[in-house]
Structure 1
Amino acid sequence: MNDHRSLLAELEPIAVAAENGSPPPPAEVEMLLARARDCGDARIEGLALLTLGHAWQHVGRLRAAQQAFRDAAARFRSANHGRGRIEALIELGRARYAAGEIAAALDTWSQCLELAHESDDRYHCARVCLGVGQACVALNDHAGALRYHELALTLARPLGHDRLTCEALINVAGDAYRLQQHVRALAALADADALLQTKVSNRVWAAEVHYYRGLVCLANGDLEAALTPLQTAYAAHADNHNVWGEAHACHALGQVHEALGQKDRARDRYLAARALVQSAGMMAVHQHILRRLVALARGCDDFAAALAWLHELDLLDATASNASKPRWTPAQQSRLNALESRSRVLAVRLQLAQPG
């Protein structure tokens, strides 16, 4: 029993750090997992597997992350730990979403939402709404994404859960930016930043606040003002070894330099971003970067480089065209509509239960 307590005391702060965007390297977590398996406690093993999934996802190893989250859900289920199982399934959905497996992510999240409603787990209802909103982004349904993320925010605030509220605010900001609702985006970012300055510690989200502020400046044509927040976001993600965030910020910096007419700097940023997205399998961003590299090469009359980038883009486009296009199926739409309605009823109940 003392060994169990000692291991749990060591693992729990690492798990919290991983959940907040700063996991240790996967090899370190795998050593903890081996010890958890030796102690024979399914809940501790599930927590170690959940942490391992975060560690793999942080470095862009999405398949390994999916397997770890899947194994974590199985271990939590064998231990009759419902909340742990839902948490692992939510993260499995996110790893599937990050890998472009939108239909699989939706199936996972709708399963999570049903489990959360069955146990009246309001926290995880909000978490799943965040995930479904992200799937809407992948389907280019930005209005739907904002609807789900605002619903998650409505669920989170009455719970008094600062971390969940902060996550919802950042997602709302991203949706509002994509819908060109820049006032709403900046207001959500200000609220998220206030939480990050006081009650919430998450290096990824702190960098995302700078990233979206930079994107709003870029969208408004305020190019010089866009540079500082985007450079801050890029440096923060790089320091935290977050490949996904680093690639997006680097790509955005390339766009700013290109708009400023700084072609060499733009090319350098795009090339750095290309290397990052190749390692992480971020196909959509990779395609956009290649299109910008083609345009830059043509603008400099470097037709050999333009042809080389076009060849790489053609190969990538062929891969993308062979993949199934993400879309809602009628069954998924019906299931999610019913679950959304139940979540809205829950949100109203939470609001009515608030004092005053």
Structure 2
Amino acid sequence: MPSPTLRGRPARLATVALCLLLGGCGSLRYYAHVAHGQASLLMHRRPIAKVLQDPATDPTLARRLRLAAQARRFASAALALPDNRSYTSYVDLHRPYVAWNVFATPPYSVEALPQCFPIAGCVAYRGYFDQSRARVRAAELKAQGEDVWIGPVPAYSTLGWFADPIVSSMLRWDDDDVAGTIFHELAHQRLYVKGDTAFNESFASFVEQEGLRQWRKARGLPPPGSRDQAMEHGFTALVLDLRERLRRLYASRDDPAKLARGKQAQVDAFRRRYAQWRDSRWSGDRRYDAWVEAPINNAKLLPFGLYDRWTGAFAVLFEQAERQWGAFYAAVGTLAEKPEAERTRELEHLAAAKNHAP
């Protein structure tokens, strides 16, 4: 969510696969917009090799694309991720983000108003390549009384339907984040369960995290720093706690005026808890201040928790597969084929094993 931005994982809470490209929708105008946006990306792709050969290419851009190309090759050779043309080309967007996702909830609910598509299933947002269209949609929902939040999207995936490029907005991040994003999005291409966002994002996040550790080791670098990750996890826990408190408040079914007061009181209390956590645990590090100080509603809380709900479970599954990617993907594929309730029970069991590990 750059400028103001959150670094690391929270910065990519809206970096969900733009999978609405893969199905129809209720509005032909919307479908035409998405088709035009995707076509524009495909038309403006340049193979990274040609960008690197161009004498007009900025040296900093060249260095970063060269490293991204190395990470792309590592993804297939070492992580058994799809070996295709995705992330072997580059697009300069000439805009800050590749897309914008519109999230919405009822005013007194923390459940998303879902958007459902034939191939991708139901997701918690609708994506737009044009920010003005996202704002129009958000205004329409707000006029209907819904809570709305627009999440910028620096990176995206079509789940392998097209050869997705590296886009300039991805280069806002540091080198590890760019490499990790390539691993993450290719994991979506490797396996995707229709309609189960938490499963899909947790799986891809585990592949990203483990892949990044292996990528750094292969380059003679130490593991990724633990401070940023610990702070991200702590902040996410605070936000999820707020969401749970609001869930309990709304379950009371009080009259709207009382719910509105309670909602604001919970947000105010969250800001106080955040300030105490920031100052007592992180020496006043203010990287999340802009997010916290901006208006907070139910929709803004939706993306949190999607990426890491089951990462611990997938870590256990990886160990059970003796840290072999092929065996791991096979085990995840078997899990993905089970009915959702059974799949969730197995994930809960694996997560519990992770939590109780010495």
Normalised TM-score (structure 1): 0.28
Q: Quick check: which one's strand share is greater?
A: 2
**Structure 1 or 2: more helix by fraction:** 1
